Amino acid sequence: MLLSKEQKQAVGHVNGPMLVLAGPGSGKTTVITMRVKNLIEKEHVPAHSILVITYTRAAALEMRERFSGMCPHGASVTFATFHSFFFKLLRTYCPFETSDLITDSTHRDMVKRAIEESLPGFSPNHEVLDSVSKDIALYKNMYIEADNFSPSSCGIAEFNRILKSYSTALRSKGEIDFDDILSLTYGLLKKNPDIRKELSETFRYILIDEFQDINLLQYETVRFLESPERNVFAVGDDDQAIYRFRGADPTLMKRFLDDHGDAPLVMLPENHRCPKGIVEFSSRLIDNNRNRFKKDLFSNVSGGSFTVKAFANTSDEYRYIADECARAIKNGADPSSIAILFRNNYQPGPLISLFTSRSIPYEGRGSFLDIYETLPGRTILSYLAASRGEVPRDAALAVINVPERGIPRGIFSKTRTNLLTPDLSDVPAATKKALISLSKELKMMSGLDPFACIKYIRKKIGLDRYLTELYAARGGNDIDLLPVLDTLEEDARGHTTYADWCEHISIKRSIQSNQNISSRDGVRFLSFHSAKGLEFETVFIIDVCEGVIPSNHAFLKDNLEEERRMFYVALTRTKKNLYVLYAKEHCGRTAAPSRFIGEMK
C-alpha cells in the first residue's frame, strides 16, 4: 500500500512518544496497524509487548481483523478498549471477577432505589434515571471530590445523598459498575509501583486511537503504564472532540506534548474520503475555532456535490429528503449508503414517520427521542388531561408544582383526583389559594384546542420560564427543552380536541416503534455523535438553523466550539454527496440559517 510522506513518518516511528494529528479520512487506522506491523517485522519487537487501545469494542475488533490480515504472526498483540483492558488488570491483581461487574439493567435498578431512598415520595421516570446515571458516570470519570462536582440532574445535596446510597449498595454486595473500572485501575496503579513496573515492562509499546476523547483519569492511568522509553503513540483529531459531556478533554492532546517534550508532532493532512470542495468548506468552518491545532487539510478526491438548500417549512424540507432518497434507491443506490444526520434526537421523528408511510427502508432503531416521554411532553399531556377532568395521581403530581406553587404532594393520597374541583378541606390557607389558582387555569384551558392549550401553558402558566430556569440549574447538559416544546406545539396544530391529538400520538408512536419497516439495509438515521467514525456515499444534514445547530444554549465559547466540532464531524461523513438543509419556518417559528453555513462560505 502506498503511504504519504507523513504516513511513512508515523509508521516508521519506533522509540519514544509521538502525537499524530489525523484529520477526517486521513487513514489513521492504516497508520496504526501498519506501525504495529513495522514494529514486529522490521524492528523485531515481540508482538505480546504491544498494546493498542481504542474506544469501542467494534473499533478494537475491526482493527484486530485488519491487522491479522496483514500480519498473521502478530496474533499476540493486545487490541482492547480502555475498559476491557483495565478490567483485565483488575481481575489479575484484585479480587474481582466478571460476576462482580453489574449489568446496565442492574445499574438502573440500583440507581432507581437510591433515588427513592434519598428522596422519599419521589418516583423517578426514565428521563430522571438517565440523567442521574449520566451524572454518576461523569462524576466517577472526573475522579474528584463529590462536593466539587456540579450535577446536571439535581441539586448538589440531593445528588450526594443519591450517590452515597448507590455506592453503599454496591459495596455491600462487593460489586462494581462500568465506571468504577477506570477509577479502581488508577487507584491500583497509583498505590502499587511494583505493578506499574511489571506492566510497563510487559507492554513496552502503547498505541492509543481517538486520543481526543481521552479523559483525565484515563490519561493519568496511561502515564503509569508508560515504559522507561515512554513509547506512547497517540493518534487523534482535536477537531473531532465531541464528547466533553462525558468528561473527554481534548486539551490533553496539548498536555501530551508538554508532558513529553521530545515528542514529535506529525500531521496527516490528506482527506482520502471527502471530495475536495467539501474539505475546503469544512476547513473554513472549523478554522473559526481558536482552541485547536492549526491544520492545512486537503483532498485529491474529485467529483461529488455540495448542496445548501432552504425550504419554506420543515414539511417541505422532509418531503424533499424523502423524494431524493426514494429516487436514489429507485436508480440503484444502496439505501444503507445514505445517511440522515441530526443534532438532537427529538428531530427525526416526523421524517421517520414519512419514510414509514412511503415504505422507504430505513435503520432508525434508537435514533429518535419519544418527545411525549420527555419532561415537557409528560407535563403538557398531564396538563391537558387534568383540564378535562379526573386524572391518575401521577398526572396530578406532574403539574401541581410545574411551575413551583408550594403544593404538598402528600395531600394527594388517592389513586385518582380532579384538579378542576380539588378537595380544599384540611389544607393550609396558602395551599388552598394555590389549588384554587391552579383550578382556574385548568378551567381556562378546558375550552381550548390542544395547540392553544400548549401556548397557554407555555406563556400564561409559565412553563417556558420554568424549564429555562431548570435547564440553567442543570448546567445546560440536558436535552434542549424549549425546542422539544416547540416540536410538541407544532405537533398539536390542527387537532381540535384532546382526544383527537391523543389518537394521533398513539398512531405516531405505533409507526415509530414498527420494527418491520426498520431495516439494517435501509437509510441510516444518526445523530452527529452516533455518526462519528462512519462514512456514506450521500449525507443529508437536517434542520441546520439557529437554535438547533448551534443550540440556543451554546452562548459560552467552549460550548459554541463544541457545537462547531459536531457540525464539522457531520460534514465530513460523506464520500460523495452532501446536503445541508434548513427551513425558514421551524416548529411553527421563523428560523434563520445557522451561522455555520455562513462560516463555511
As a whole number of angstroms, the distance between CA 299 and CA 294 comes to: 17
Give residue 370's pLDDT.
78
pTM given for the model: 0.84
Mean pLDDT of the chain: 89
Residue linked to cell 464520500: 575
Would you place residue 479 in the very low, low, confident or very high pLDDT band (cuts 50, 70, 90)? low
Helix axes 463-473, 481-492, angle to 10 degrees: 150
As a whole number of angstroms, the distance between CA 328 and CA 345 comes to: 25
Strand pairing of 391-392 and 416-417?
antiparallel
Q: 362 near 545, Cβ under 8 Å?
A: no
Least-confidence region, from 233-237, 320-324, 429-433: 429-433
Least-confidence region, from 35-49, 218-232, 488-502: 488-502
> What are the counts of helices (DSSP H) followed by strands (DSSP E) for the chain?
24, 16
DSSP three-state, residue 419: coil
As a whole number of angstroms, the distance between CA 299 and CA 601 comes to: 18
* 475-481 long-range Cβ contacts below 8 angstroms, 24+ apart: 475/150, 475/152, 476/152, 476/553, 476/559, 477/134, 477/152, 477/245, 478/131, 478/152, 478/153, 479/344, 479/345, 479/346, 479/369, 479/374, 480/344, 480/551, 480/552, 480/553, 481/374, 481/375, 481/376
Instruction: For the chain, give the longest Cα–Cα distance.
Output: 87
Check whether 52 has a pLDDT greater than 80: yes
Give residue 73's pLDDT.
83
How far does CA 184 lie from the centroid of its chain? 25
Least-confidence region, from 122-131, 271-280, 449-458, 520-529: 122-131
Would you place residue 74 in the very low, low, confident or very high pLDDT band (cuts 50, 70, 90)? confident
What are the Cα distances from residue 577, in Å, to 275, 323, 535, 540?
9, 15, 11, 8
Would you place residue 517 in the very low, low, confident or very high pLDDT band (cuts 50, 70, 90)? very low
Check whether 445 has a pLDDT greater than 50: yes
